[in-house]
């Protein structure tokens, strides 16, 4: 039954999405050809034969890549700070008010369902072309995802310390600070680091709509068929993302060790 439904869905989707295997087979040569062209300079030589020519714009690209990283960092931190406060309001077990919790959850859901690129498009109208729009888009999207993840972490805590602090007559924010926060801080940092990794990737394409970072140059290079530039920028992005992944991975493992030692 389920399988039949799935097959019908696939068939209908294929029509809706204008899937055409014949076109695919006819044009697949373009795909491999595309990668072939990516690896050749304008002069026709292989890119590896002349790295200086291949990476001719490295100074500018490095600066833009740096801007992308700063965008991802500022966006993640701002989003994480917002999510930090919202999480305690949203978590069902510690929320001061059930309706407030509902409202915060819906808000986070909105922030994470609307794609970052759409926010970026709107912020470009308000703030003009440039990284400002991108940072805010990253921050809002991170707020949505981290708000959900953080509040789930808070919902899984041991309630005894919170009750203990509350029973001494401490107000809500003190109970959260000394009862809940010590239990969740390392998970929060770990999730924020994961989000940072994702945001680096996302920031790299926000430039497609004019919201700053290396994406602007990449978009231009793809659209204008500057093949060797495309491959050079892609290589730089892939290497940067890999480095960031390794770095944050190391920090997260340290963090987990730290928690287990206590």
Partner 1 sequence: MPDRRQLDVAALRTRHPQHFGGPGRERPVAIVFAGMFLLLVLGMANLGFFQWKTIAGIGKLWDVILLMLPPDPGTWSLFQLYFWGLVETIAIALLGTLTAAVLALPLSLLAARNVTAARLVNFLTRRSLDTIRSVDILIWALIWIGVVGLGPFAGVLAFATSDIGSFGKLFSEALETADHKPVEGILSTGGGRLLSVRFGILPQVFPVLASQILYFFESNVRWASVLGVVGAGGIGLQLAEAIRTLELQQASFIILMILVAVAMIDFISSRLRFALIGRRERTS
Binding site for partner 1 (CB under 8 A): 9-10, 12-14, 16-20, 23-24, 27-28, 30-31, 34, 67, 70-71, 73-74, 77-78, 110, 113-115, 117-118, 121-123, 125-128, 130-132, 135, 201-202, 204-205, 208-209, 212, 218-219, 222-223, 234, 237-238, 241-242, 245
> CA nearest 149: which of 115, 200, 111, 201?
111
Minimum separation from the CB atom of position 96 to partner 1 (A): 25
Contacts of 175 (CB under 8 A, 6+ apart): 94, 162, 165, 166
Report, in angstroms and rounded to the nearest whole number, the Rg of the chain calculated over CA atoms.
24
Taking the least distance from each CB to partner 1, the nearer of 96 and 225 is: 225
**Least separation in angstroms between CB 236 and partner 1:** 11
| Residue 97 CB, nearest approach to partner 1 (Å) | 24
Distances (CA, A) of 194 to 39, 138, 156, 188, 249: 32, 14, 19, 10, 8
Closer Cβ to partner 1, 83 or 135, answer by number: 135
Instruction: Kindly state the smallest distance separating residue 15's Cβ from partner 1, in Å.
Output: 8
User: Which is nearest to 142 in space by CA: 93, 206, 209, 233?
Assistant: 206
In the bound state with partner 1, the residue whose beta carbon lies nearer, of 96 and 128, is: 128
- Give least dist CB 95 to partner 1, A: 20
- State the angle between helix axes of 21-38 and 227-261 in degrees (0 to 180), rounded to the nearest 10: 90
């Amino acid at each position: 039954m389920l399988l039949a439904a799935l097959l019908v869905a696939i068939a209908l989707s294929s029509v809706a999405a204008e899937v055409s295997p014949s076109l695919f087979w006819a044009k697949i040569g373009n795909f491999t050809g595309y990668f072939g062209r990516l690896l050749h300079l304008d002069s026709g030589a292989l890119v590896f034969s002349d790295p200086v020519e291949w990476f001719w714009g490295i100074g500018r690209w490095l600066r833009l890549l740096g801007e992308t990283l700063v965008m991802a960092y500022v966006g993640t931190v701002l989003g994480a700070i917002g999510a930090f406060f919202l999480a305690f309001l949203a978590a069902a077990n510690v929320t001061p008010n059930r309706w407030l919790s509902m409202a915060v959850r819906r808000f986070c859901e909105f922030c994470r369902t609307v794609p970052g690129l759409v926010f970026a498009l709107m912020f470009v109208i308000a703030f003009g072309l440039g990284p400002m729009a991108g940072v805010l888009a990253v921050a809002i999207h991170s707020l949505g995802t981290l708000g959900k993840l953080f509040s789930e972490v808070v919902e899984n805590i041991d309630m005894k310390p919170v009750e203990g602090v509350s029973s001494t007559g401490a107000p809500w924010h003190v109970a959260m600070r000394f009862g809940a926060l010590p239990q969740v801080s390392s998970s929060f940092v770990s999730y924020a680091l994961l989000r940072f990794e994702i945001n680096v990737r996302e920031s790299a394409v926000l430039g497609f709509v004019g919201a700053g970072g290396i994406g602007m140059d990449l978009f231009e290079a793809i659209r204008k068929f500057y093949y060797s530039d495309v491959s050079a920028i892609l290589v730089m992005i892939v290497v940067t993302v890999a480095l960031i992944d390794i770095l944050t991975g190391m920090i997260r493992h340290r963090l987990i060790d730290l928690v287990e030692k206590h």
